[in-house]
Structure 1
Amino acid sequence: MQKPQLLTRRRVLLAGAAAVGAAGTAGVLAAGLGEEPVRPTTPAAGPRARHAFDPSAYRLQPLTGYGPPGTEPRRLLVRREPLLRVPGRGRTMVLTFDDGPDPRYTPDILDTLAKYDVRAMFFVCGEKAADHGDLLARMADEGHVVGNHTWSHPLLTRLRRRQIRSEMERTCDIIEETYGERPLWFRAPYGAWNRAAFQLGAELGMEPLAWTVDTLDWTTPGIRTIVDRVHDGAAPGVVVLSHDAGGDRSQSVRALRVYLPHLLDSGYHITAPRWHFV
């Protein structure tokens, strides 16, 4: 079955510009997105309902890093270390999920986020996004942010520069095709960054985002342990790392149902950054 074609932000803006131009012509005839780098965390050692697509209002707003339709992404600062926290005032935190999408676990995570009207970040692998574009379309519909986690989840420090570019660029392309816009964020598999990854990410218009709290859910330590790690690490600006794919993620799904309402009851605002940090 052929997948429905999704409108990218550039196509939306281009169509809008054409409509404005047409309206203007009719009237005439009638009248005659750098912050200082921060230190990285210890790399993770782990392995790794379809909704109708209807672009929401935020998708019509221009993103930092993108110019008029047809232009290339703005060159970003080439960082030497990934970002670990998000700036902002108050008790703000970010929940991130890596390695998906996976139809066994991602829909349950999306259901829980929707129940509490919370937005999160999903760092997806291109090869999985290509097979489950409906899940990325749902992420777009429900306001979540999708980041680049490479195509096949390799250890980037063992690849040549051209291989790293291919892993990242192919994933950018499939995200734009299925989610509706190119990603502004990327995360190196296993937290293994190198200079080439930082350079190529910046060239592709993406900021490197790591994490502050690692739930280590890939080790299946038990639901209570995952919940405790999130609760113990909760603080303003914290980025939490969990997984929605790459193995048995049933504990991750069930732990989210416990710690998310607790965070909200504790006064935390769970957000997902849509813009580059400036």
Structure 2
Amino acid sequence: MKKDQLLTRRRALLAGTAVLGAAGAGTAGLLLSGSGPDTAPVRPAAPAAGPPARAVEAVKPSAYRLAPLAGYGPPPGNGPQRLEVRHEPYLRMSGRGRTMLLTFDDGPDPRYTPHILDTLAEYDVRATFFVCGEQADWNRRLLSRMADEGHVVGNHTWSHPLLTKLTRSRIRSEMERTTQVIVDAYGERPQWFRAPYGAWNRAAFQLGADLGMEPLAWTVDTNDWTRPGTRSIVRTVESGAAPGVVVLSHDAGGNRSQSVQALRDYLPRLLDSGYHLTVPRRTTA
């Protein structure tokens, strides 16, 4: 399959507007925005730059699932937007009313991500997916589906390493390779970045800004990676619900059946309680 056959419908539309130019420089703040297909793993015709990616089955969840240490963007132009370098990630988002963000890390995984997308579609809710490049590279159709259904895809590095142990060149490679996969399959440059394990350092902030990405962490950690039980995950989300909260869950990196079921339980309850589940949006100066 030729590379241009992997373009999503969304990217085809964006290509028509790319000639209008890239977005203006700088960021003034962050806001909250309103909120089938074949999902089998697909091997790309040409791998991303660097060592060949491993198949999903070959990635051992234990290799990168440790306890955390702690968008709707412009069309892709000639390069990333220039950003001010932050010294800490955003932990929550500003917005009006009872707004919250749902975020899912480490995917996409063909065993769990489609079920999460199905639930979000059922309730017409948008979420943010921080994807790992080596997972996304084999599951580009799931990124295409995310684009088609209005979700935001963020950069979660290529192989989910501990960035504080890497050189600047390795960190840049982890970010750039993942960005390229997202652009090819999703149709837009990622505007958001999340460090694996929540382990941020100066190099991560600087390189993320160089690539046009803002750092987004979380407010409520479901700890679903420990498989505490569906009811425990639901209680954590519901007890932590509040305006501006960013919820951390996972759609890959291990058995995520509890995360899938928990979403089906707490999502309608949050909506019934008057919460608006949305995605992050940046504003330009």
* TM-score range for the pair, normalised by the shorter chain length: 0.7 to 0.9
Counterpart residue number, 1:78: 85
Q: State the alpha-carbon separation in 2 of the partners of residues 17 and 117 from structure 1.
A: 28
Counterpart residue number, 1:161: 168
Give the TM-score of the pair, scaled to structure 1. Answer: 0.80
Report the structure number with the largest CA radius of gyration.
Answer: 1
Deviation, 1:231, is 0.4
Q: List alignment gaps of at least 5 residues for structure 2.
A: 21-26, 31-35, 40-70
Select which of 58, 72, 93 maps to 2:100: 93
For the pair 1:111 / 2:118, whether they are aligned, the reply is yes
Q: Which amino acid aligns with 2:156?
A: H
Deviation, 1:86, is 1.0
Shift of the 165–16 alpha-carbon distance from structure 1 to 2, 3 Å rule, reads closer
Deviation, 1:274, is 3.6
For the pair 1:220 / 2:227, whether they are aligned, the reply is yes
Deviation, 1:209, is 0.1
Q: State the alpha-carbon separation in 1 of the partners of residues 28 and 164 from structure 2.
A: 25
Q: Which has the higher contact order (CA 8 A, sep 6+)?
A: 2
Q: State the alpha-carbon separation in 2 of the partners of residues 62 and 250 from structure 1.
A: 28
Shift of the 12–257 alpha-carbon distance from structure 1 to 2, 3 Å rule, reads closer
Q: State the alpha-carbon separation in 2 of the partners of residues 113 and 62 from structure 1.
A: 17
Q: State the alpha-carbon separation in 2 of the partners of residues 165 and 8 from structure 1.
A: 29
Counterpart residue number, 2:7: 6
Q: Say whether the 8 Å CA contact 1:184–1:276 is kept in structure 2.
A: no
Q: Which amino acid aligns with 1:161?
A: R
Shift of the 173–111 alpha-carbon distance from structure 1 to 2, 3 Å rule, reads same
Q: Deviations over 1:16-48 (max 9, x none)?
A: 4779xxxxxxxxxxxxx6459xxxxxxxxxxxx
Q: List alignment gaps of at least 5 residues for structure 1.
A: 20-32, 37-48, 53-60
Moved over 2 A (4+): 1-5, 7-19, 33-36, 49-52, 61-64, 274-278
Give the TM-score of the pair, scaled to structure 2. Answer: 0.79
Q: State the alpha-carbon separation in 2 of the partners of residues 210 and 231 from structure 1.
A: 19
For the pair 1:271 / 2:278, whether they are aligned, the reply is yes
Deviation, 1:273, is 1.7
- What secondary structure is seen at the aligned counterpart in 2 of 1:273? strand
Counterpart residue number, 2:191: 184
Q: Which amino acid aligns with 2:116?
A: I
Q: State the alpha-carbon separation in 2 of the partners of residues 273 and 210 from structure 1.
A: 12
- CA RMSD in angstroms comes to 2.6
Aligned residue pairs, count: 242
Q: Which amino acid aligns with 2:282?
A: W
Q: Say whether the 8 Å CA contact 1:140–1:180 is kept in structure 2.
A: yes
Q: Which amino acid aligns with 1:241?
A: L
Counterpart residue number, 1:15: 16
Deviation, 1:5, is 3.0
Shift of the 187–117 alpha-carbon distance from structure 1 to 2, 3 Å rule, reads same
Q: Deviations over 1:200-237 (max 9, x none)?
A: 00000000000000000000000110000000000000
Q: Which amino acid aligns with 1:158?
A: K
Q: Say whether the 8 Å CA contact 1:86–1:238 is kept in structure 2.
A: yes
Higher strand share: 2
- What secondary structure is seen at the aligned counterpart in 2 of 1:152? coil
